[in-house]
Amino acid sequence: EIVLTQSPGTLSLSPGERATLSCRASQSVSSSYLAWYQQKPGQAPRLLIYASSNRATGIPDRFSGSGSGTDFTLTISRLEPEDFAVYYCQQYGSSPPMCTFGQGTKLEIK
Amino acid sequence: QVQLVESGGGLVKPGGSLRLSCAASGFTFSDYYMTWIRQAPGKGLEWVSYISSSGSTIYYSDSVKGRFTISRDNAKNSLYLQMNSLRAEDTAVYYCARDRRDGYNRLDYWGQGTLVTVSS
């Protein structure tokens, strides 16, 4: 089973700053099957990025994803107040064909 | 618009059973895989199970295998999760999500979740 490790656990930044969130896999992951989600308190998660770098419908272009193999990154170019939330990466494995989530990165206002 | 509405959560004693439902609307339900994900209080997301569009392919996480059963009724646009032999560690908000697989897999729509509490 592939394990996803996100870092840092908590990231403290100010609005207007750039955020870089990391997701590292225990073995190689297909870029087609790596996604990022945002979750705000009391809400369901929302899809941000799929296939490592494709923005989901309605997601602002300040959100971008990159990476391949075992290292993936979510970047928020200029933080808006509504971006402070918890972010999860997720992958679909092929053998076994199961899904796993990273433990999450909390992005908080400094 | 796509809507997913979970129901069936509640308080149940250890060893008990519960059946969750997820009513789907706004898309052709029978065209999509569907997935259950849970989130224990204050914790991260945990994938639970998925089912293919026809129901012929099903997978479970090791933590629920043998106790939970996922199913769907495409005529009723509904997804289900039968949960048996419940344990305290199954306490969580359970989300259903549309599992889009068009070469790029992702969970593109989520319900609001239903809370399951396992306690004596």
Identify the closest residue of chain B to A93 by CA–CA distance.
B105
User: Which amino acid is located at A109 in the chain?
Assistant: I
Report how far residue B105's alpha carbon sits from residue B86's, in angstroms, rounded to the nearest whole number: 30
Which one-letter DSSP state was computed for residue A83?
G
From the list A56, A92, A98, the residue facing B108 with the nearest CB is A56
Q: What is the pLDDT of residue A93?
A: 85
Q: What is the pLDDT of residue A23?
A: 98
Which one-letter DSSP state was computed for residue B66?
T
Identify the helix (H) or strand (E) that includes residue A30.
Answer: none
The rounded percent of chain A whose pLDDT value lies above 70 is: 100
Compute the mean pLDDT over every residue in chain A, rounded to the nearest whole number: 96
Q: Where residue A109 falls among pLDDT bands split at 50, 70, 90?
A: very high
Task: Kindly list the strands in the beta sheet with A19-29, ordered across the sheet, starting from the edge strand earlier in the chain.
Answer: A4-7, A19-29, A63-76
Q: What is the pLDDT of residue A1?
A: 85
Which one-letter DSSP state was computed for residue A32?
G
For B1-110, where are the E strands, in sequence order?
3-7, 10-12, 18-25, 33-39, 45-51, 58-60, 68-73, 78-83, 92-100, 106-110
Report how far residue B23's alpha carbon sits from residue B29's, in angstroms, rounded to the nearest whole number: 10
From the list B44, B50, B104, the residue facing A88 with the nearest CB is B44
CA A28 to chain CA centroid, Å, is 17
8 Å CB contact of A90 and B46? no
Residues in chain A closer than 8 A to B37 (CB atoms): 45, 101
Sign of torsion over alpha carbons B21, B48, B41, B24: negative
Report how far residue B100's alpha carbon sits from residue B33's, in angstroms, rounded to the nearest whole number: 7
Identify the helix (H) or strand (E) that includes residue A105.
Answer: strand A105-109
Q: Where residue A79 falls among pLDDT bands split at 50, 70, 90?
A: very high
For residue range B24-61, what is the model confidence (pLDDT) as tens digits? 999 999 999 999 999 999 999 999 999 999 999 999 99
Question: How long, in residues, is chain B?
Answer: 120
Report how far residue B62's alpha carbon sits from residue B91's, in angstroms, rounded to the nearest whole number: 16
Tokens of B108: 């593109």
Identify the closest residue of chain A to B60 by CA–CA distance.
A98
Q: What is the pLDDT of residue A85?
A: 98
Q: Where residue A96 falls among pLDDT bands split at 50, 70, 90?
A: confident
Q: What is the pLDDT of residue A55?
A: 98
For residue range A30-74, what is the model confidence (pLDDT) as tens digits? 999 999 999 999 999 999 999 999 999 999 999 999 999 999 999
